[in-house]
Amino acid sequence: MFEQLAEGVGPFKYKFHQVAVYTPRFDTAVDSWIDLGYKNWAFDSAVLKGVLNTASLYEEPRWEVCETPARMAFNYDILNGGAEYEILGYQGKLHEWKTKGKDAGEGFISHISVYTEDLEENVKLCEVEWGRTPYHLFTTEQHTNPRVRGRKRFTETIINMKDIFGFDIKFIQKVPWDYKADYSAYTPDWAA
């Protein structure tokens, strides 16, 4: 799960494992890959419960509590080396791509992801190296995939890197099923 880079490469120590594509046409995207011969998919739905910086919607940046229903499809045959290719579909009125004005029309690479044992350490690294802070922090809830439901949950943080890399970076840390996130440092409206 945590494939490490060689010592001395730089301050970041893990290899990215996933490329995620956001599309408002979730079913069409999956069906099109199946038509091309990529038939092995794992599906999940979850609620992303956390906080989102809605700076692009308002004159002043502000954090809002959000519960975003998400559909996810995963394939391990599309990318070389067994890396994970994910198709994302968000539902609801508030999610990260609505705040960036990208919710209509075409799909695009949303982010690349990396599993980490210490999410906070990597978030601080992004702040030190690039001066970037998170804009979406959440914990997954209500998974529908039987291999995940009741067994795995994740706390995740997305850093806005689109202007540099063309996509964002997401850090994922596996947490116990009874994990309670605390985002009260971002907004007083947070209630776990």
Single out the residue of 163, 156, 185 nearest to residue 63, CA to CA: 185
Q: How many CB atoms lie within 10 A of CB 99?
A: 20
What structural domains does the chain harbor? 18-175 (3.10.180.10)
In this predicted model, what pLDDT tens digit does every residue of 155-191 receive, in sequence order?
999 998 888 888 989 999 999 888 888 888 887 777 6
Q: CA 21: distance to chain centroid?
A: 10
Torsion of CA 134, 140, 145, 148, to 10 degrees: 100
Q: Six-digit token pair at 69?
A: 């229903």
Q: Look at residue 18 in the predicted model and tell me its pLDDT.
A: 94
Q: What is the radius of gyration, based on Cα positions, of the chain?
A: 16
| Helix locations, the chain, DSSP H | 26-35, 96-99, 119-130, 162-165
- In the chain, the percentage of residues whose pLDDT exceeds 90 is 30
- Rounded distance, CA 60 to CA 141, Å? 30
Q: Look at residue 74 in the predicted model and tell me its pLDDT.
A: 96
In this predicted model, what pLDDT tens digit does every residue of 33-74 receive, in sequence order?
999 999 999 999 999 999 888 776 566 667 888 888 999 999
Q: Six-digit token pair at 2?
A: 């945590």
- Rounded distance, CA 57 to CA 106, Å? 20
- Rounded distance, CA 95 to CA 88, Å? 12
